[in-house]
Structure 1
Amino acid sequence: SFGVTPDIDLYLKTHDVLESFDFDVLISGHTHSLATKDDIKTNKKFTESVMENAKNALDSSDPAGICAQTTIKQWEGKLGNLETFMSDHCNAMIEYLKEKS
């Protein structure tokens, strides 16, 4: 989850750096498959979605739950295994946003 990422804004900028390199595949070490530039773009969009959904849910009674539900609906069919880590992603993002403000 994003919980091991101390600076999510820097994490997002890293995607831009990776995209600037000339390569066909990236061995990210995160999954058992090779990544392409399209995968990097998708991951960045996913992270931005989680961030936006977390921001929108911050003032609710269940920000992590709302963030998770919203993000799963947005990304269902585009990414797999969303339910497994989405609450962790949203909790970490909410904590990051709170610390940042």
Structure 2
Amino acid sequence: MTPDPNRPLPTETFLHNRTLHVGNQTLELAYLGEAHMAGNIFIYARVQKVLVLIDVVFPGWLPFASLGEAKNIPAYYQAHDQILQYDFDHYIGGHVGRAGNRTDVLIQQEYILDLMHNCEQTLNESATNNSMIGAAALLGPVSTKNPGNKWAAFKVYLDVLGQYCANITNEKWLGRLGAADVFEYENAGAVFESLRIDYGILGPFGIS
């Protein structure tokens, strides 16, 4: 790791929980899993009812590309339930210019579930022969123009499915979350990869 004087290594670490007392202030720290990435911690000020968890919920906005560049998408989904287990009035998620509240967390959780549902339906629809996004309809023409290049055909397949799912999802979320038109495609792509890798939903490419 390249030394960075602006981000020195910690002098204290903890495995699951740590309570900090500074003057008359108390912060409860908890590591509940990867969420956005390994090491992301919940920081809770119980008296003030303030919860901090960076790069998971983006109050009022769509998550940044690929669900905030989440490294573990199942854990990212779970983090929303973990957040809602806290008693808080104010949520600090980082970026996008404002703090949030419990309603913001619930709205993003609804969005995440919609996106996952739409992507799963899209993936399953691509396994049907008469669909415009069916694997046969998409892979054949690309394979003809790119003989022997299977990645070219599969990339077109994933790109078309990603845009299709993004369009469906945006029918509900454009105008409800900021910048839904900016990162929906990238978020759909991240969900497709998670569905295939983490959940074994393979559409037309299942093992038979």
Shift of 1:74: 1.3
Determine what percentage of the aligned residue pairs are the same residue: 26
- 1:68 to 2:166 alignment: yes
The gaps in structure 1 that reach 5 residues or longer are: none
For the 8 Å contact 2:80–2:105, the answer to whether it is kept is: yes
In structure 1, the partner of 2:186 is: 88
Larger Rg: 2
Q: Judge which range, 52-61 or 66-75, deviates more.
A: 52-61
Q: CA RMSD in A?
A: 1.4
In structure 1, the partner of 2:94 is: 29
Q: Say which structure is richer in helix.
A: 1
In structure 2, the partner of 1:11 is: 76
Q: Which whole-Å deviations, capped at 9, do the CAs of 1:40-76 have from their partners, x for residues lacking one? A: 0011111111111111111235210110000100112
Matched position secondary structure for 1:26: strand
Greater RCO, 1 or 2 (C-alpha within 8 Å, sep 6+):
1
Residue 42 of structure 1, aligned match among 91, 95, 107: 107
Q: Give, in whole Å, the separation in 1 of the partners of 2:180 and 2:68.
A: 16
Q: Say which structure is richer in strand.
A: 2
**TM-score normalised per structure 2:** 0.46
Shift of 1:30: 3.3
Aligned residue pair count: 101
For the 8 Å contact 1:3–1:88, the answer to whether it is kept is: no
